[in-house]
């Protein structure tokens, strides 16, 4: 480990670091624009100049690797003068429009100009102006502000894997853009906004809506996909203004997907803000008491077997726990948290987790993707796969749809037959998996949301066993869920109990009349139009598909409006924090069930969320361990049997609209439109 | 560089002869570094494609060399010698930097405009000439000068510029080099030293 002296202080740092990183470790602040830990080194902003002993000129610390015995000065008058000079050059062509710039108040250039720049400008000539670029409906560009740090170019190429941005022209005529005008085709494009150190790339939906200092910042967890990315909810009064990523090295590093970031305008649209009861065939506004009375009248004296509940994709664990208790009180075991009908085995935790963990992908040395398009099912996880791919020697095989995943892969086949061949050791990829020391497989919703999913699970288990994917400390068996609630629901056991019906059984029962009362907890992706005479109670936050056929609607809270537990696909138990209040009469979901239990005479034994959580922990100890992942033990699961010859498809058709919030979002509607506009806005994942 | 709006190009592929040359050029670089051949290929494509490079041309080069199209755009827009818009039959580049200007490049430019009718950045109506104002081309000794196609025309006057351009317009050929009869960059008034056999000291 090289030793160097920084500002007179000796420090020993890891070899391979840059001088800039060493300075940071020594506590010396070095300003920078182009340098970013997760991107390649460009060295083109020159803001990080420092003095190095025996070097004739100042060195760009971001591009200089540390060496033994270096003597670095970051605070001499000469360095201060250099920074002042560089800053003056950067500001030559930068407009003085901070008062109308959305980056104002959270702008690196603004902050560093104050900290390191001169107090006035000597520049009197004309500034250049650059034509704005079109980068799709999410990113608003004011390219005159660009200082050519090329962070966006490097992000698009290295992390997102869509090398569509570049710096064309030279000198004063340099412009960052796509050259041939088109929307950026990445599901991670919103991260460009965070990376841009100036106001050249800003959020289009958020444009001119708020200033960063008037926002209340609440740290929370994303539920738009199963990854459970760390987010910060920025709200003002009753409204969520924007969603930003938070750092979580184990999950999302510092990225979030465009849906996580931009669907938040859907939180203000089509909300259920009061209870409704269907009277004479029409949904009418009602009080909580009337709604509860209507339910009580329906369920009183009914056999438990005629009552059922289905939980949707964004339901928190507390709500499912309370509902499960209420169902038990009714004497019913008809419940399911798997709207898509996947035959996941709740008794075996390893069978439904992403066991390798997201960070663990970086240790794998071969990957088999089955019936999944991770790019649209979980873009940030896909970026992790790409990160591993870019590091080299990472063969990836895909069974399922042909798609642009942003990394090279071999398409092995379309469906179950290929998987079964692979389980028998046939095919070229068998060799690859055999040679791999830490192979992994990713089983997607496209392979599981089918009638033969138990057989597919068994096949995947066989493949995992055959190629040694599960050994000692390595578990390469992974299920990629598309719903934030799924793992939590499995952990709390919100699945058909003994003699109970699963989703398909419940829906069939509703159609035949065997099920007379059906609770839908935010379940909008099941088709209840055939439910005929069944009394449907919809509890959720949006007037989406599920609410349309409901007889009673109970307004609940969205994920930004409650402190609730979600378990991500790795089995990481995380909690959201309430940022704003639910609109109107809407309430936190578990309290609704608790209140209902009183009215129907089956009072649940908890009065506050601590008691409820204690009960959850008593039922399953995993809920006691927040933010960590514990390995699940491997066992037998799946039922071998006949498989369907139909090819695997992705579990997600339209990345931008997968749940009630994103379906209500105007921004997501615009993205969908751009996506369907053919060549210009095509993402490459839609066929 | 904004999107070239006047690009109305058809598909492009290299001629059979150029395909052979590409193999030779690519072979000069280590395996896996074939992107180094980007610039010679751009030049070759420009010559094949009537003197300019369209987006399909760049896309084709990216495909041939296994590059990202954006990287080819970046190279092509960085260098002024790649024309990203259609040019006339003769691409006339007049130097207006200091030495040429001191020696009368304004008159040269005016003469060009008289003959072609096109100012800098424009193409003559008959499609014969595209005029470009260029930075120093390194022929200051023979200022003023201009470049037509690949050839330098030096020691220009308004009269011989008109002659050259008119000849070219009529389909003739013009002789490149100094137009005042001097040889290369020798002194304009004839040799001043080393005139005879060396004398013994």
Q: What is the pLDDT of residue A140?
A: 94
Measure the CA–CA gap between A35 and A297, rounded to whole angstroms: 65
Q: What is the pLDDT of residues A131-149, one digit of tens each?
A: 999 998 999 999 999 999 9
pLDDT at B193: 82
Q: How many CB pairs under 8 A join A and B?
A: 38
Burial class of residue A206 in the structure, from the number of CB atoms within 10 Å of its CB (0-12 exposed, 13-18 middle, 19+ buried): buried
Interface check A180 vs B, CB under 8 A:
yes
Query: Cβ contact (<8 Å) for B77 and A170?
Result: yes
Across the range A633-643, mean pLDDT stands at: 89
Nearest chain B Cα distance for residue A134, angstroms? 11
Predicted confidence at residue A230, as pLDDT, reads: 97
Interchain CB contact of B74 with A (< 8 Å): yes
Task: Identify the closest residue of chain B to A171 by CA–CA distance.
Answer: B78
Express each pLDDT in A42-75 by its tens digit. Answer: 999 999 999 999 999 999 999 999 999 999 999 9
Selected residues 459-478 of chain A with any CB under 8 Å from a CB in chain B: none
Q: Does A69 touch chain B (CB under 8 A)?
A: no
Mutate to test the interface with A, among B1, B35, B38, B76 (most CBs of A within 10 A): B1
Which of B2, B55, B74 faces A166 most closely, judged by CB atoms? B74
Q: Is A165 on the interface with B (CB under 8 A)?
A: yes
What average pLDDT score do residues A72-88 get? Answer: 95
pLDDT at A256 exceeding the cut of 90: yes
Cβ distance B34 to B26 under 8 Å? Answer: yes
Q: Tell me the mean pLDDT in the region A198-225.
A: 95
Element (H, E) at B22: helix B16-27
Does B163 touch chain A if contact means CB atoms closer than 8 Å?
no
**Nearest chain A Cα distance for residue B83, angstroms:** 12
Residue B199 is given by DSSP the state P
Please name the residue of chain B whose CA is at the shortest distance from the CA of residue A167: B74
Considering only residues A682 and A318, tell me which one the structure prediction assigns the higher pLDDT: A318
pLDDT on residue A677:
63
Express each pLDDT in A639-678 by its tens digit.
888 888 899 988 888 999 999 999 999 999 999 998 776 4
Residue A166 sits at the chain B interface (C-beta within 8 Å): yes
Task: State pLDDT tens for residues A233-254.
Answer: 999 999 999 999 999 999 999 9
User: Among A148, A168, A684, which would you mutate to test the B interface (most chain B Cβ atoms within 10 Å of its Cβ)?
Assistant: A168
Say if CB A554 and CB A291 are below 8 A apart. Answer: yes
Amino acid A533: pLDDT: 87
pLDDT of residue A684: 42
Q: What is the pLDDT of residue A686?
A: 40
Mind listing the domains of chain B with CATH numbers?
16-78 (1.10.10.1590), 90-178 (3.40.30.10)
Sequence-ordered list of residues with C-beta below 8 angstroms from that of A240, at least 6 positions apart, any chain: A233, A234, A264, A267, A268, A560, A579, A580
Contacts of A529 (CB under 8 A, 6+ apart): A549
Flag if B78 and A168 touch (Cβ within 8 Å).
Answer: yes
pLDDT digits (tens, 9 = 90+) for A583-613: 999 999 999 999 999 999 999 999 999 999 9
- pLDDT in the model for residue B197: 77
Question: How many Å apart are CA B44 and CA B178, to the nearest integer?
Answer: 28
- Judged against a pLDDT cut of 60, whether residue A306 lies above it is answered with yes
Whole-number pLDDT of residue A350: 94
Phi/psi region, residue A554 (left: phi>0; alpha: psi -120 to 50; beta: rest), is beta
- What is residue A185's three-state secondary structure? coil
Coil, helix or strand at residue B94: strand
CA-CA distance, A78 to A8, in Å (whole number)? 16
Closest CB to B70 among A170, A175, A179: A179
Per-residue confidence (pLDDT) for residue B189, from 0 to 100: 81
A304 touches chain B (CB under 8 A): no
Residues of A in contact with B77 (CB under 8 A): 168-170, 179
Q: Please, what's the b/e burial string for A608-617 (b: 16 or more CB within 10 A of its CB; e: otherwise)?
A: ebeebbebbe
Structure ipTM: 0.83
Q: Which of A499, A507, A445, A450 is nearest to A313 (CA)?
A: A445
Calculate mean pLDDT across residues A191-202.
96
Whether residue A175 lies within 8 A of chain B, CB to CB, comes out as: yes
> Rounded to an integer, what distance in angstroms lies between the CA atom of residue A633 and that of residue A44?
50
Contacts of residue A232, defined as CB under 8 A and 6 or more positions apart, other chains included, come to A217, A218, A219, A220, A243, A244, A245, A246
Q: Is-contact A105 A198, C-beta < 8 A?
A: no
For residue B110, the Cα-to-chain-centroid distance in whole angstroms is 20
Tokens of A108: 């690196």
Kindly list the residues from chain B whose CB atom is less than 8 angstroms away from the CB atom of residue A404: none
Please report the pLDDT score of residue B8 as a whole number: 54
| Cβ–Cβ gap B77/A169 under 8 Å | yes
C-alpha A666/C-alpha A404 separation (Å) is 26
- Tell whether B81 lies on the interface with A, counting CB pairs under 8 A: no
Q: State whether residue B78 sits within 8 Å of chain A by CB.
A: yes
Contact assessment for residue A657 and residue A668, using Cβ atoms and an 8 Å cutoff: yes
Distances (CA, A) of A478 to A224, A441, A475, A571, A648: 19, 6, 8, 11, 17
**pLDDT score, position B199:** 64
The mean pLDDT value for A423-431 works out to 92
Q: Do residue B1 and residue A179 have CB atoms under 8 angstroms apart?
A: yes
Give pTM, 2 decimals: 0.91
Tens digits of pLDDT across chain B (201 residues): 444 444 556 789 999 999 999 999 999 999 999 999 999 999 999 999 999 999 999 999 999 999 999 999 999 999 999 999 999 999 999 999 999 999 999 999 999 999 999 999 999 999 999 999 999 999 999 999 999 999 999 999 999 999 999 999 999 999 999 999 888 898 888 788 877 777 655
Q: Which residues of B touch A181 (CB under 8 A)?
A: 3
Whether the Cβ atoms of residue A416 and residue A645 lie closer than 8 Å to each other: yes
- pLDDT score, position A233: 97
A49 phi, psi to nearest 5 deg: -60, 135
pLDDT in tens, A550-578: 999 999 999 999 999 999 999 999 999 99
Nearest to B108 by CA among A92, A150, A434, B116: B116
């Amino acid at each position: 480990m090289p030793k160097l002296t920084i500002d007179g202080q000796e420090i020993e740092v890891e070899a391979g670091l840059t001088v800039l990183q060493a300075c940071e470790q020594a506590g010396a602040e070095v300003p920078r624009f182009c340098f970013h830990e997760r991107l390649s080194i460009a060295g083109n902003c020159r803001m990080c100049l420092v003095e190095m002993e025996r070097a004739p000129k100042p060195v760009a610390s971001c591009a200089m690797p540390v060496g033994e015995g270096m003597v670095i000065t970051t605070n001499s008058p000469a360095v201060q003068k250099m920074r002042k000079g560089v800053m003056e050059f950067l500001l030559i062509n930068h407009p003085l429009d901070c008062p109308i710039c959305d980056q104002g108040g959270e702008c690196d250039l603004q902050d560093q100009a104050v900290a390191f720049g001169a107090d006035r400008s000597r520049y009197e000539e004309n500034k250049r102006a650059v034509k704005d670029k079109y980068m799709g409906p999410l990113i608003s560009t004011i390219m005159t502000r660009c200082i050519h740090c090329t962070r966006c170019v490097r992000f698009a190429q290295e992390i997102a894997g869509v090398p569509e941005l570049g710096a064309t022209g030279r000198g004063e005529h340099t412009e960052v853009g796509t050259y041939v005008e088109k929307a950026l085709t990445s599901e991670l494009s919103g991260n460009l906004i965070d990376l841009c150190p100036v106001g050249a790339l800003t959020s289009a939906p958020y444009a001119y809506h708020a200033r960063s200092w008037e926002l209340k910042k609440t740290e929370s967890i994303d539920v738009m996909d199963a990854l459970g990315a760390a987010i910060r909810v920025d709200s003002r009064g009753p409204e969520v203004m924007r969603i930003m990523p938070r750092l979580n090295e184990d999950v999302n590093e510092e990225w979030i997907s465009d849906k996580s970031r931009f669907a938040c305008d859907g939180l203000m649209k089509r909300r259920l803000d009061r209870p409704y009861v269907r009277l004479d065939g029409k949904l009418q506004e009602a009080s909580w008491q009337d709604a509860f009375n209507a339910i009580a009248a329906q369920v009183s004296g009914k056999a438990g077997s005629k009552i059922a509940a289905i939980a949707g994709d964004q339901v928190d664990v507390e709500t499912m726990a309370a509902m499960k208790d209420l169902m038990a009180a009714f004497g019913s075991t008809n419940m399911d948290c798997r709207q898509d009908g996947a035959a996941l085995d709740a008794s075996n935790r390893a069978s439904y987790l992403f066991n390798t963990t997201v960070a663990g992908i970086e240790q794998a040395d071969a990957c088999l993707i089955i019936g999944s398009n991770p790019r649209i099912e979980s873009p940030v996880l896909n970026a992790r796969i790409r990160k591993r791919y870019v590091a080299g020697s990472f063969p990836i095989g895909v069974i399922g749809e042909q798609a642009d995943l942003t990394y090279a892969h071999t398409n092995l086949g379309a469906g179950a037959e290929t998987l079964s061949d692979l389980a028998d050791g046939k095919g070229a990829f068998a060799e690859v998996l055999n040679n791999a020391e830490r192979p992994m497989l990713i089983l997607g919703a496209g392979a599981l949301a089918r009638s033969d999913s138990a057989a597919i699970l068994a096949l995947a288990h066989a493949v995992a066993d055959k190629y040694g994917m599960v050994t000692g400390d390595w578990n390469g068996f992974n299920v990629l869920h598309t719903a934030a609630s799924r793992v939590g629901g499995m952990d709390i056991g919100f699945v058909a109990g003994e003699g109970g019906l699963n989703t398909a059984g419940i829906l069939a029962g509703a159609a035949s009349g065997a099920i007379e009362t059906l609770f839908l907890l935010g379940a909008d992706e099941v088709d209840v139009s055939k439910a005929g005479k069944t009394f449907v109670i919809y509890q959720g936050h949006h007037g989406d598909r599920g609410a349309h056929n409901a007889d009673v609607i109970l307004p609940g809270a969205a994920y930004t409006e409650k402190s609730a537990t979600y378990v991500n696909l790795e089995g990481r138990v995380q909690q959201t924090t309430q940022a704003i209040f639910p609109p109107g009469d809407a309430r936190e979901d578990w309290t609704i069930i608790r209140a209902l239990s009183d009215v129907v005479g089956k009072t649940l034994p908890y009065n506050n969320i601590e008691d409820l959580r204690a009960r959850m922990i008593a039922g399953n100890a995993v809920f006691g361990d927040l933010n960590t992942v514990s390995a699940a033990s491997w066992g037998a699961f799946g039922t071998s049997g006949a498989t369907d010859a139909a090819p695997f498809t992705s579990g997600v058709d339209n990345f931008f609209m997968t749940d009630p919030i994103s379906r209500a979002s105007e921004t997501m509607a615009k993205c969908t439109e751009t996506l369907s506009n053919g060549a210009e806005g095509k993402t490459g994942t839609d066929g | 560089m904004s999107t070239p709006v006047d690009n109305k190009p058809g598909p492009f592929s290299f001629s059979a002869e150029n395909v052979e040359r590409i193999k030779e050029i690519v072979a000069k670089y280590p395996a896996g570094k074939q992107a180094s051949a980007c610039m010679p290929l751009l030049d070759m494509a420009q010559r094949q494609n009537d003197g300019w490079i369209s987006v399909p041309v760049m896309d084709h080069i990216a495909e041939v060399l296994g590059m990202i199209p954006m990287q080819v755009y970046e190279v092509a827009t960085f260098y002024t010698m790649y024309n990203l818009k259609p040019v006339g039959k003769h691409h006339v580049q007049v130097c207006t930097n200091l030495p040429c200007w001191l020696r009368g490049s304004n008159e040269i430019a005016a003469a060009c405009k008289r003959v072609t009718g096109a100012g800098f950045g424009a193409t003559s109506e008959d499609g014969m000439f595209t005029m470009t104002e260029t930075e120093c081309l390194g022929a200051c000794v023979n200022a003023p000068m201009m470049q037509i196609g690949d050839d330098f025309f030096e020691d220009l006057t308004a009269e011989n510029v008109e002659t050259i351009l008119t000849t070219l317009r009529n389909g003739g050929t013009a002789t490149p080099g100094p137009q005042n009869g001097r040889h290369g960059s020798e002194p304009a008034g004839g040799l001043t030293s080393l005139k005879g056999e060396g004398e013994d000291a």
